[in-house]
Structure 1
Amino acid sequence: MGLGTRLRKTLAATLLAAAPLAVPAAQAQDRPLRLVLNVGLQTLDPIAGPSFVTRNFSYMVFDTLIAMDGKGEYRPQMLDNWRISDDGLTYTFTLREGLEFSDGAPVTAEDCVASIRRWGARDSLGRRLIAATKDLRTVDARTFVLELGRPFGLVIEALGKPSVQVPFIMPARLAATTPPTTPVSEVVGSGPFLFLRDQWIPGERTVFARNPRYRPRSEPADGLAGGKVAKVERVEFVNMGDPGLRAAAVQRGEVDYLEYAPIDYIRNMQRDRNLVLARARGYAEIVGGISINHHQPPFDNVLVRRAVQQIMDRQELIAAEGVPTDLARPECLSLYACGTFYESAAGTEQTRDTSIARARELLRQAGYRNERVVFLQPADSALINPIGLVMLDRLKQAGVNLDVQTSDWSSHAQRWIQRQPLDQGGWSLLPVVYTGFDLANPLSNPGIGYNCTNNQPWGYCDPAMTPVIERFEAEPDAARRREIAGELQRLSLQQANFPLAGQFASPAVWRAELKGVIDFGFPILWNIERSAR
Structure 2
Amino acid sequence: MRARKAPMKNTLLSRGLAGALALASLLGAAGADAQDRTLRVSLNTELQVLDPLVTTINATRVFAYLVYDTLVGVDGAGHYRPQMLEGWEVSPDRLTWTFTLREGLEWQDGTPVTAEDCLASIRRWSKREALGGQMMEAVREATVLDARRFRFRMSRPFAFVIEALGKSGHTIPVMMPARLANLDPHRAVPEVMGSGPFVFLQKEWRPGERASFVRNPRYRPRAEPADALAGGKVVKLDRVELVSVADQATRAVALQSGELDYLEILPLDFVVPMRRNRAVTVGTPRGIDQFLAVVNVNHAVPPFDNPKIRRAFQAAVQQPEVMAAMGLPDDLVVPWCGSIYMCNAPGSTEAGTEPLRAAGPERARALLKESGYKGEPVVFLHAQASALLNPIGLVVADQMRRAGFNVDLRSSDYATVAQRRLSRAPVEQGGWSVAPIVLNGIDAVNPLSNPLVAYNCSEVWPGWYCDPPTSRLLAEFSEAATPATRRALADRLQAAVHENVNFVLAGQFAGPPAWRSNLRGVVPFSFPVFWNIERR
Q: TM-score, normalised by structure 1?
A: 0.94
Seen in structure 2, the aligned counterparts of structure 1 residues 355 and 280 have a Cα distance that, compared at 3 Å, is closer
Q: Deviations over 1:193-248 (max 9, x none)?
A: 11112222223322112111211112111111111111222111122222222111
Partner of 1:334: 339
Partner of 2:11: 8
Cα distance in structure 2, aligned partners of 1:396 and 1:116: 45
Q: For 2:92, which of 72, 86, 96 is the aligned residue? A: 86
Deviation at 1:109, TM superposition (A): 0.9
Q: For 1:96, which of 94, 97, 102 is the aligned residue? A: 102
Partner of 1:74: 80
Contact 1:107–1:171 (8 Å) recurs in 2: yes
Tell which deviates more after alignment, 446-455 or 161-170. 446-455
Q: Deviations over 1:348-404 (max 9, x none)?
A: 111012112222222222222222222111122111111011111112222222332
Q: Deviations over 1:254-308 (max 9, x none)?
A: 1000111222211211111111122341110111011111111111111111122
Confirm or deny that 1:56 pairs with 2:59: no
- Matched residue type, 2:116: E
Partner of 1:183: 188
Deviation at 1:189, TM superposition (A): 1.0
Partner of 1:517: 522
Number of aligned residue pairs: give it: 527
Contact 1:294–1:459 (8 Å) recurs in 2: yes
Q: Deviations over 1:412-437 (max 9, x none)?
A: 21222343443443222111001110
Cα distance in structure 2, aligned partners of 1:82 and 1:415: 42
Contact 1:287–1:502 (8 Å) recurs in 2: yes
Seen in structure 2, the aligned counterparts of structure 1 residues 207 and 278 have a Cα distance that, compared at 3 Å, is same
Q: TM-score, normalised by structure 2?
A: 0.93
Instruction: Name structure 1 gaps, 5 residues minimum.
Output: none
SS of the residue corresponding to residue 407 of structure 2 reads: strand
Tell which deviates more after alignment, 425-434 or 238-247. 238-247
Tell which deviates more after alignment, 437-446 or 391-400. 391-400
Cα distance in structure 1, aligned partners of 2:336 and 2:429: 39
Cα distance in structure 1, aligned partners of 2:424 and 2:114: 36
SS of the residue corresponding to residue 464 of structure 1 reads: helix
- Matched residue type, 2:435: L
SS of the residue corresponding to residue 426 of structure 1 reads: coil
Q: Deviations over 1:290-331 (max 9, x none)?
A: 111111111111111112212221111011110111211113
Partner of 2:407: 402
Partner of 2:495: 490
Confirm or deny that 1:43 pairs with 2:46: no
1:25-174 alignment to 2 at 5 Å?
Answer: 26-27=32-33, 30-174=36-180
- Matched residue type, 2:471: T
Partner of 2:323: 318
- Matched residue type, 2:127: A
Contact 1:281–1:521 (8 Å) recurs in 2: no
- Matched residue type, 1:316: E
Tell which deviates more after alignment, 362-371 or 85-94. 362-371
Partner of 1:437: 442
Cα distance in structure 2, aligned partners of 1:221 and 1:520: 11
Cα distance in structure 2, aligned partners of 1:2 and 1:468: 57
Partner of 2:479: 474
Contact 1:63–1:191 (8 Å) recurs in 2: yes
Deviation at 1:30, TM superposition (A): 4.3
Cα distance in structure 2, aligned partners of 1:24 and 1:160: 39
- Matched residue type, 1:335: I
Q: For 1:362, which of 344, 363, 367 is the aligned residue? A: 367
Tell which deviates more after alignment, 89-98 or 398-407. 398-407
Q: Give RMSD over aligned pairs.
A: 2.3
- Matched residue type, 2:463: W
Seen in structure 2, the aligned counterparts of structure 1 residues 512 and 163 have a Cα distance that, compared at 3 Å, is same
- Matched residue type, 2:77: K
Confirm or deny that 1:279 pairs with 2:284: yes
Contact 2:16–2:251 (8 Å) recurs in 1: no
Seen in structure 2, the aligned counterparts of structure 1 residues 115 and 4 have a Cα distance that, compared at 3 Å, is farther
Partner of 2:257: 252
Identity, in percent, stands at 49
- Matched residue type, 1:390: V
SS of the residue corresponding to residue 174 of structure 1 reads: helix
Q: For 1:242, which of 244, 247, 267 is the aligned residue? A: 247
Contact 2:121–2:181 (8 Å) recurs in 1: yes
Cα distance in structure 2, aligned partners of 1:420 and 1:135: 39
Contact 2:16–2:250 (8 Å) recurs in 1: no
Contact 1:8–1:244 (8 Å) recurs in 2: no
Seen in structure 2, the aligned counterparts of structure 1 residues 2 and 43 have a Cα distance that, compared at 3 Å, is farther
SS of the residue corresponding to residue 502 of structure 1 reads: strand
SS of the residue corresponding to residue 169 of structure 1 reads: coil
Q: For 2:433, which of 420, 428, 432 is the aligned residue? A: 428
